[in-house]
């Protein structure tokens, strides 16, 4: 690049920062330059983008370079995300839903041993209440989801049902999400998966930055000894980020999530390097070649392969071993994600702090609401949580603050949701609620009754569907916004 071009680019980026500082004030909530909040007039979103001039400059800079398709920014973000989590590889995709699809598709490859390969008709254990694209990919690859119930207190799976859901010779994997930034019982799930030689896919889309700890003796028994980067060892427990305990995990970078690229997601390959090659193949059209975009002959024998019934020497860049997709994001998105990743530790702390403000602010209404507890917690006080006897602990990077309206409260969760909406306070139900009640699964039960299996009644998932909603905890919430939310809820409950 000539000096003139470099100078011109620098001036464009300087002006870009000035522009962003002028027009994106609302996205810098919590800073002195942010837009003032007006209760009842300004919307309190349940989630949203928090960014500053850094992200806008990065996006414009990458666009000026006009690589566009996934390239150097994407490669850098993949390395940086993997380094943050402490996994072997992270692979960028265009959404968290695509990440879930690639994660399960990677386990269908013929390159795996037959007893580990997920094939049509094989079963994958999952949980009934949650977001549909945790489950949809299981069906999309021809496998059979087996539904177990949720514990309403945590939003996560009732792990005591895992054994009853297991079918020898058919069950190949467990795939479930850490609900709203609350880690599921990884100790129990890992023990189950180890005992039956099953894959574990962690849907970590709502839980980036959560940690799970277990006593060292327990971790050693499960073959787990390493800590994640940035998490100091304390000599008694192994502590790692969620998304690093199973075989594969997934992330979403849609705006409500812990960091954003606009659209985007990632597949994290925890410790088995070959899985990265399989996942990349399914992401990149199903090709056998592993060269990155714009690179040729990484293997050094591009015209010396003999695969399938192709002639020897057929161009390896056009050899396909899988029925794949094209699910890459763009390089400017990755440039944004790199800047967001730098802010992630502060985002995580803000989410924890906002959850605590809401919990303490609504503590007086324990007769009206059942409140979510972190997995392994037995109770909450303003001083902290009490814990069960397992020795395992969770530290939640909360996606949302979920509560359940008690049956005798005098109002329903829908009544509360409508009132909050009328006061411009964003809120959400727990995604799809009991997915088995959704029209798509009702119809699927009629059309193909053997396409999924349900482990009895789902009272926990139904309770979440009928009683739960959640408020935001995202970093853009200010003290004034949270105080307004709390006052609106207090007034509503007292008048009900």
Beta strands 123-127; 144-148: pairing state: parallel
Query: Taking the CB of residue 41, how many other CB atoms lie within 10 A of it?
Result: 7
Whole-angstrom distance, CA of residue 395 vs CA of residue 181? 9
Q: Which of 431, 462, 472, 467 is nearest to 136 (CA)?
A: 431
Q: What is the dihedral of CA 345, 351, 357, 358, to 10 degrees?
A: -170
67 contacts: CB under 8 Å, gap ≥ 6: 73, 294, 331
Strands 211-215 and 237-241: antiparallel
**CA distance linking residue 496 with residue 491, whole number of Å:** 9
Residues in the chain: 496
Which H, E and C letters describe 55-92, residue by residue?
Answer: HHHHHHHHHHHCCCECCHHHHHHHHHHHHHHCCCEEEE
Question: Which phi and psi angles does 30 have, rounded to 5°?
Answer: 95, -10
Alpha helices in 24-174 (DSSP H): 53-65, 72-85, 96-106, 132-140, 162-165
Distances (CA, A) of 291 to 246, 275, 297, 298, 345: 27, 16, 7, 6, 33
Backbone phi, then psi, for 198, in 5-degree steps? Answer: -110, 150
Residues 6+ apart with CB under 8 A from 6: none
CA distance 86 to 416: 41
Neighbours of 91 (CB within 10 A): 27
Say whether 419 is catalytic: no
Is 24 in a helix, a strand, or coil? coil
**3-state SS, residue 390:** coil
- Return d(Cα 312, Cα 50) in angstroms, integer: 52
440: left (phi over 0), alpha (psi -120 to 50) or beta: alpha
131 vs 175: CA distance, rounded Å: 12
Which one-letter DSSP state was computed for residue 367? Answer: T
Pick the catalytic residue from 24, 257, 322, 413. 257
The answer to whether the CB of 474 falls within 8 A of the CB of 256 is yes
Q: Say if strands 144-148 and 453-454 run parallel, antiparallel, or are unpaired.
A: parallel
Tokens of 63: 């666009």
- 204 with 243: CB under 8 angstroms? yes
Catalytic positions: 257
């Amino acid at each position: 690049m000539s000096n003139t071009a470099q100078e011109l680019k620098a001036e464009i980026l300087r002006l870009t920062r000035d522009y962003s500082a002028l027009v994106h004030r609302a996205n810098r909530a919590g800073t002195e330059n942010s837009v003032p909040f007006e209760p009842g007039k300004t919307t309190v979103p349940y989630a949203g983008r928090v960014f500053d001039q850094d992200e806008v400059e990065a996006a414009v800079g990458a666009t000026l370079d006009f690589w566009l398709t996934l390239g150097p920014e994407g490669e850098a973000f993949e390395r940086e995300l993997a380094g943050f989590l402490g996994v072997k590889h992270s692979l960028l995709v265009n959404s968290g839903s695509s990440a879930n699809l690639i994660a399960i598709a990677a386990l269908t490859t013929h390159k795996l041993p037959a007893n580990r390969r997920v094939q049509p008709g094989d079963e994958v254990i999952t949980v009934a209440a949650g977001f549909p694209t945790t489950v949809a990919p299981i069906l999309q690859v021809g496998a059979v989801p087996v539904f177990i119930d949720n514990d309403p207190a945590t939003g996560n799976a009732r792990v005591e049902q895992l054994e009853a859901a297991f079918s020898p010779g058919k069950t190949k994997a467990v795939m479930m999400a850490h609900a709203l930034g609350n880690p599921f019982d990884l100790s129990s799930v890992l023990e189950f998966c180890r005992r039956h030689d099953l894959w574990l896919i962690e849907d970590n889309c709502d839980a980036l930055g959560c940690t799970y700890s277990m006593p060292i003796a327990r971790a050693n028994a499960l073959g787990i000894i390493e800590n994640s980067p940035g998490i100091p060892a304390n000599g008694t427990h192994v502590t790692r980020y969620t998304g690093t305990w199973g075989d594969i995990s997934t992330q979403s970078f849609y705006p409500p999530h812990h960091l954003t690229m606009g659209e985007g997601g990632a597949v994290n390959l925890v410790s088995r390097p070959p899985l990265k090659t399989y996942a990349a193949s399914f992401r990149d059209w199903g090709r056998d070649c592993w060269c990155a975009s714009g690179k040729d002959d990484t293997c050094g024998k591009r015209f010396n392969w003999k695969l399938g019934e192709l002639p020897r020497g057929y161009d390896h860049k056009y050899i396909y071993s899988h029925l794949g997709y094209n699910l890459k994001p763009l390089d400017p998105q990755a440039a944004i994600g790199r800047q967001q990743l730098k802010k992630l530790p502060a985002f995580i702390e803000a989410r924890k702090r906002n959850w605590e403000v809401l919990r303490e602010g609504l503590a007086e209404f324990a007769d009206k609401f059942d409140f979510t507890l972190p997995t392994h917690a037995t109770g909450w006080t303003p001083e902290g949580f009490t814990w069960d006897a397992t020795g395992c602990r969770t530290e939640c990077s909360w996606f949302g603050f979920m509560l359940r309206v008690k049956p005798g409260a005098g109002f329903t969760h829908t009544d509360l949701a409508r009132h909050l909406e009328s006061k411009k306070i964003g809120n959400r139900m727990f995604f799809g609620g009991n997915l088995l009640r959704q029209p798509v699964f009702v119809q699927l039960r009629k059309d193909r009754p053997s396409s999924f299996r349900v482990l009895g009644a789902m009272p926990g998932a139904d309770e979440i569907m009928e009683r739960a909603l959640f408020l935001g905890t995202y970093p853009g919430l200010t003290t004034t916004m949270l105080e307004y939310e709390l006052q609106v809820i207090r007034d509503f409950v007292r008048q009900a």
